[in-house]
Amino acid sequence: MKIAITAQGPTLDSALDPRFGRCQYLILADTLTSDWTAIPNPVLGEPGGAGIAMAQRLAQEKVEALITGNIGPNAARALSASGIPVYIAGGGTARQALADFREGRLAAASGPTVTAHSGM
Amino acid sequence: MQVAVASGKGGTGKTTVAVNLAHVLAEEGPIQLLDCDVEEPNAHLFLHPTQHEVREVNIRVPAVNRARCTGCGKCVEACAFHAIAVLGEKALVFPELCHGCGSCVRVCPTGALHEEPRRLGIVSRGSAGRIDFVQGKIDVGAALAVPVVKAVKRAAWAGDVILDAPPGTSCPVVATIARCDYVLLVTEPTPFGLNDLKLAIELVREMKIPHGVVLNRAGIGTDDVQEYCYRERIPILLRIPFDRHFAETIAHGRLIVQEFPDWRIEFRHLWERVRRGGRG
């Protein structure tokens, strides 16, 4: 399964980025093969709607789950419409978050965890 | 002519200048005051206008006919604000982010989008004595001030108009002062007043609008604002001294020109200088 993890740097050993729309990097990882690629956030400098644009990107990448720290109302609605569940990680590295996800230790968010623009 | 009263810094006395000027001019003929500070309009607190009519300000945001939407994504490409996305194979609208430009509706190849009104605020019109008074007020939770400012300005008549601008130098201020004949920049002689005056000067120069300064609370702080204006050849058209009696008058929501009738000539003279282009 292809998942996305928000990270503060471009590798699996970078710290998890608690922001979704305004994360520094998006790491796309395969849970079976552990292959991964990092892409810099294409909408980091946008004045608004970053969470929505990121959700759109995840849908295009056919990502099946997202791991991040917090999720705002617009992004939550956008991800829910694309059927991408959001798993909340408390911190650590992207690698740890991936391992925790595989072990079933991360809880899925049922809705937004923060208000709009919290990551700005 | 249309004269905006603006300021880079908040709390310098824009509304004080606007309402006193309007009150004095109303003694001589018809004058209109537009309160364009739609996030926190307060000129009415000085003027106590009656309210004749209230209109809603709406923008038109897209709505999706899911049966017709093919999820092609042309609307997503057209939107500069990420207010529409294709998720779950259909377009999804985020109305709070929409600026109402209508691009998505025009580019949709299947006619799956139509526009529906979304309320942003209200414009009310009334009168305070002989002042024709118009005020805009944005709704709580609405993020777009500019369409409300523009709606206030559409109520402007052809004669003399004073526009009370919001503080700062961002979009709502630009919308307020656009196409005005003159901008009065109110400031105070402090480092903060000077810093924000420079930003406001940059803006009016960029927009090529004739401008002059009203120095409020003159006598406190430093001479830096005055020296800056001399150096940059920006006329200081009126000095309102830092005076306890003025402060008390304003604190009670009263007008300087009513409490101190001698000041009527000062404001009338200010208008005369503005009318002459505000030079020298």
Q: Answer yes or no: do B86 and A56 touch at CB < 8 A.
A: yes
A-interface mutation test, from B77, B90, B94, B101, most A Cβ less than 10 A away: B94
User: Exposed, middle or buried: residue B223 (CB in 10 Å: 0-12, 13-18, 19+)?
Assistant: exposed
Q: How far is A74 from chain B (nearest CA, A)?
A: 7
Please report the number of interchain residue pairs, chain A to chain B, with beta-carbon separation below 8 angstroms: 48
Please calculate the CA angle B103-B107-B108 and round it to the nearest 5 degrees.
Answer: 115
Q: What is the pLDDT of residues B191-205, one digit of tens each?
A: 999 999 999 999 999
Q: How do the pLDDT tens digits run along chain A, 120 residues long?
A: 999 999 999 999 999 999 999 999 999 999 989 899 999 999 998 888 999 999 999 999 999 999 999 999 999 999 999 999 999 998 899 999 999 999 999 999 988 888 888 777
Q: Which residue does chain B place closest to A46, by CA atoms?
A: B81
Class of domain B2-57+121-275: alpha beta
Residue type, B149: V
Q: What is the pLDDT of residues B214-255, one digit of tens each?
A: 999 999 999 999 999 999 999 999 999 999 999 999 999 999
Residues of B in contact with A50 (CB under 8 A): 82
Which percentage of chain B shows pLDDT scores above 70? 99
- Pull the structure tokens for residue B275: 């009318």
SS3 A30: strand
Residues of A in contact with B83 (CB under 8 A): 49, 52
SS3 B125: strand
Under 8 Å CB-to-CB from B95, ≥6 apart: which residues?
A: B61, B83, B118
Total residue count of chain A as it appears in this document: 120
- Average pLDDT, integer, range B129-137: 97
Q: Which residues of B187-205 are buried (b: 16+ CB within 10 A; e: fewer)?
A: bbbbeebbebbeebbebbe
**Where along chain B do the CATH 3.30.70.20 domains lie?**
66-111
Query: How far is Cα B205 from Cα B6, in angstroms, rounded to an integer?
Result: 14
**Where along chain B do the CATH 3.40.50.300 domains lie?**
2-57+121-275
Q: Answer yes or no: do A56 and B76 touch at CB < 8 A.
A: yes
Say which CATH superfamily domain A2-108 falls into.
Dinitrogenase iron-molybdenum cofactor biosynthesis domain (3.30.420.130)
- Average pLDDT, integer, range B85-103: 93
DSSP bridge partners of B212? B184
Nearest by CB to residue A52, choosing from B82, B88, B90, is B82
Contact predicate B180/B4, CB 8 Å: yes
Fold observed for domain B66-111: Alpha-Beta Plaits (3.30.70)
Q: Which residue does chain A place closest to B99, by CA atoms?
A: A48
Query: How far is Cα B91 from Cα B113, in angstroms, rounded to an integer?
Result: 9
Q: What is the 3-state secondary structure (H, E, C) of B133-195?
A: EEEEEECCCCCCCHHHHHHHHHCCCCCCEEEECCCCCCHHHHHHHCCCCEEEEEECCCHHHHH
Nearest by CB to residue B87, choosing from A43, A47, A82, is A82
Residue type, B239: R
Q: Answer yes or no: do A82 and B82 touch at CB < 8 A.
A: no
pLDDT score recorded for residue B280: 46
Q: What is the pLDDT of residues B40-91, one digit of tens each?
A: 999 999 999 999 999 999 999 999 999 999 999 999 999 999 999 999 889 9
